[in-house]
Amino acid sequence: MKNIIVGQSGGPTAVINSSIVGVYKKAKELGYDHVYGMVNGIEGFIKGNFIDLDDYLKDKDNIELLRRTPSAFLGSCRYKLPKFESDPETYKRIFQLLEDNEIDTFLYTGGNDSMDTVKMLSDYAKDNNKPQRFMGVPKTIDNDLPITDHCPGYGSCAKYIATSIKEIIRDNESFNKSRLTVCIVEIMGRHAGWLAAAAALAKGDDCSGVDAIYLPETTFDLKEFLNLINDLKYKKDSIVIAVSEGVKTTDGRFVCELNDEDLAVDAFGHKQLSGCATTLCHIVAKETGLKTRAIELSTLQRAASHIASLTDIEEAEAVGARAVEEANKGNTGMMVTLKREQDNPYKCTTDVFDVHHIANAEKKIPLEWIDLENHQMKDEFITYARPLIMGELTPIFKDGVPTHLIRK
Amino acid sequence: MKNIIVGQSGGPTAVINSSIVGVYKKAKELGYDHVYGMVNGIEGFIKGNFIDLDDYLKDKDNIELLRRTPSAFLGSCRYKLPKFESDPETYKRIFQLLEDNEIDTFLYTGGNDSMDTVKMLSDYAKDNNKPQRFMGVPKTIDNDLPITDHCPGYGSCAKYIATSIKEIIRDNESFNKSRLTVCIVEIMGRHAGWLAAAAALAKGDDCSGVDAIYLPETTFDLKEFLNLINDLKYKKDSIVIAVSEGVKTTDGRFVCELNDEDLAVDAFGHKQLSGCATTLCHIVAKETGLKTRAIELSTLQRAASHIASLTDIEEAEAVGARAVEEANKGNTGMMVTLKREQDNPYKCTTDVFDVHHIANAEKKIPLEWIDLENHQMKDEFITYARPLIMGELTPIFKDGVPTHLIRK
């Protein structure tokens, strides 16, 4: 028997399930007997909780549904694998499960924290002469993994953001100056501004675009921000501003902390941010007297498979397939990457890279892609991001809503 | 010369522009010379601000774009027409403009407040033997106009809500019980819960639906709400609750007022609500210790033409066309209504009704359509609402985002 298992970890995306499709199809093509899926990632696997994907994906219609299903079909987790020294039992348990089920390949779809898991398990296998292979499949809406040109999940989120921002601008400009509203849209992105920058993609012949974009790559100057609003209110009938949840002031505080709210902390010690747009709206209303509206795209942006990018879906599938191929060749401790061959026409292939150089490093937007003076994105960013949002995969509607594939 | 003018008023929708399409096509068919559009409703018209729709809609491609363009193409307003007694000059100005431009028909697309305008202008015309006709074209995402079976704008908003709620549920259930999150989704609807009720449409074979829906038609009992959460946390790995922005407690306070925030008031004296989901999340977190997430669908829900209902688009066009036909026959002081002929298969026609019996009355959800005990919608509501979200009109994408028609 030659079996393979795949798990999903971290925050869900609109296309993480397409990587499962890529894994399943390639594994079957290469003659794997069983393609298993961990239920709720490694946290579930440790408890012996996994399913046989044949039960769902032998039916080709279900594969088409899975490509259109957002979030983690297998269930996700935010489990931080302990270091071997502190918890050897967990490692023994994992490898015992792999041996018992004749699983020679372990694939893990996720972002920084998940690549850390791949690194630790492949290191353990190497140190203990275990035959199993561990491969990372990149996935993060944040687009902050290094080495890879971009991350599956980003393109669909960016497409949702660009589309929604365009519709928000349309809505906000429906009244004249007498009802001018400052609309501040909060977009996900803790340390990197890739998602907030995608607001720039709304601009076109039929849309003047957002009036400013604030990214965590630069510091946020409240006084300058208020000056900008005070300037725009004379020039425009509508003001729409995109702000990354992670923007910080010069003294290192998150903008949402300007209201001194307590911040919860997740399992990895990351601060749970929210309310940055609301905070800024309160300040703008108080300081300028203008009507304001805070919009938080929240989980809508990462779950919106109804307007996912076809390019993103196809690339998510490709990285899943490549991970299987590499493991099948005997490679381990690597993450699949996306390699841009050219911009126009856009061409992208897959590659692999040692996961040790990827884990826990974050890729930010190059400062030279940001028009710092006008708080806009330069053409370099548009050239980079535009191809990633191209194409659509029409949902399969039933009773007026898109249908999904779910575990029974 | 035989000219007609149409204006858009109140909050925008995803399909209000389809009513313009209906007016334009029918008016041309019936031989009107010019089809004018008020820029920013009657507020702009009083200032002489209007355009000739030929400049945009002679091109059939532009008509297809306009059907897919959210918000008010012509610009909207929230102008409350003064009573004649208090401001006769405004009435004289309006009728002078109509005469000067040989406009014999004035169509106004909007909700309750806009129908009030139609009523006052048609009354003035009648009282002063003016020949112009005034017709109301219904439009409101709130679906709260009486007489008409439903209102154009509602179906598309409901489709967006059902789709988004389904994606939110998918996202929220991606983790297991150890990370159970109570997600509270705030949906528009000041006094009627039609939109929040549309959350029930997410339920299907592949979706267990929301765990509760709170509507302004019933009073909100905080203690019972917390009991429900405490009960659900043992039964479920994910809790998603839909709440109308207008829910009130037994003592008549809006739920968002439980935090004693100051509420702004709009030109019509309506309270500007927001933060009801945030308020409830704070309370749930404090009382149960559970992780919470507030999502406000905000203006996204009314501007989401990228997932508009084709049924809604076609009906918005039909009510616009019918208004022209009626005025052309000599009728005035009426609003076009939608008349449901049958549920299955759904069949709906247009009708007209005296605007005096429509203005400033609000239609709520019948209490017998609400499962009060379980905070769910009964089949009667689903039978009513499902046909309204059926069908799609695929956006015309350019550079990865939907394109719109705009005034130059």
Asked whether the beta carbons of residue A302 and residue B171 sit closer than 8 angstroms, the reply is yes
Can you give the pLDDT at residue A148? 95
Alpha-carbon distances, residue B6 vs B41, B350, B359 (angstroms):
8, 19, 19
**Predicted TM-score of the model (pTM):** 0.96
Catalytic residues of B: 142
What's the Rg (C-alpha) of chain B? 22
Q: Is A142 a catalytic residue?
A: yes
Distance from CA of B371 to the nearest CA of A (A): 21
The answer to whether residue B112 scores a pLDDT higher than 90 is: no
Which residues of chain B are within 8 Å of residue A10 when distances are taken between CB atoms?
A: none
Asked whether the beta carbons of residue A404 and residue B207 sit closer than 8 angstroms, the reply is yes
Q: Which of A104, A113, A142, A144 is catalytic?
A: A142
| Cβ–Cβ < 8 Å for B18, B67 | yes
Which residues of chain B are within 8 Å of residue A404 when distances are taken between CB atoms?
A: 166, 170, 206-207
Which residues of chain A are within 8 Å of residue B268 when distances are taken between CB atoms?
A: none
Q: Which of A206, A278, A291 sits opposite B406 (nearest CB)?
A: A206
pLDDT tens-digit map of B113-171: 899 999 999 999 999 999 999 999 999 999 999 999 999 999 999 999 999 999 999 99
* Contacts (Cβ under 8 Å, ≥6 apart) of A204: B398, B399, B401, B403
* Rounded CA separation B313/B323 (Å): 16
Can you give the pLDDT at residue A265? 46
Q: Which of A71, A163, A397 sits opposite B392 (nearest CB)?
A: A397
Asked whether the beta carbons of residue A174 and residue B71 sit closer than 8 angstroms, the reply is yes
Asked whether the beta carbons of residue B394 and residue A389 sit closer than 8 angstroms, the reply is no
Interface TM-score (ipTM) > 0.85: yes
Asked whether the beta carbons of residue B300 and residue A296 sit closer than 8 angstroms, the reply is no
Torsion of Cα atoms, B382 then B385 then B387 then B388, to 10°: -160
Domains within chain B, CATH numbers bracketed: 3-147+305-360+393-402 (3.40.50.450), 154-303 (3.40.50.460)
Distance from CA of A101 to the nearest CA of B (A): 24
Mean pLDDT over residues A274-280, rounded? 84
Asked whether the beta carbons of residue A309 and residue B167 sit closer than 8 angstroms, the reply is no
Can you give the pLDDT at residue A261? 44
Extended beta strands in B304-404, E state: 334-343, 346-354, 370-371, 376-377, 397-398, 401-402
* Rounded CA separation B214/A342 (Å): 52
Asked whether the bond before B88 is cis by omega within 30 degrees of 0, the reply is: no
Would you place residue A210 in the very low, low, confident or very high pLDDT band (cuts 50, 70, 90)? very high
Would you place residue B62 in the very low, low, confident or very high pLDDT band (cuts 50, 70, 90)? very high
Structure tokens at B398: 């350019």
User: Which of B399, B406, B407 to probe the A interface (max A CBs under 10 A)?
Assistant: B399
| Cβ–Cβ < 8 Å for B371, A381 | no
Would you place residue A295 in the very low, low, confident or very high pLDDT band (cuts 50, 70, 90)? very high
Mean pLDDT over residues B241-269, rounded? 74
Mean pLDDT over residues A338-345, rounded? 96
Mean pLDDT over residues A251-264, rounded? 68
pLDDT tens-digit map of B367-388: 999 999 999 999 999 999 999 9
Nearest CA in chain B to A265: B291
What 8-state DSSP symbol labels residue A296? E
* Rounded CA separation B158/B166 (Å): 12
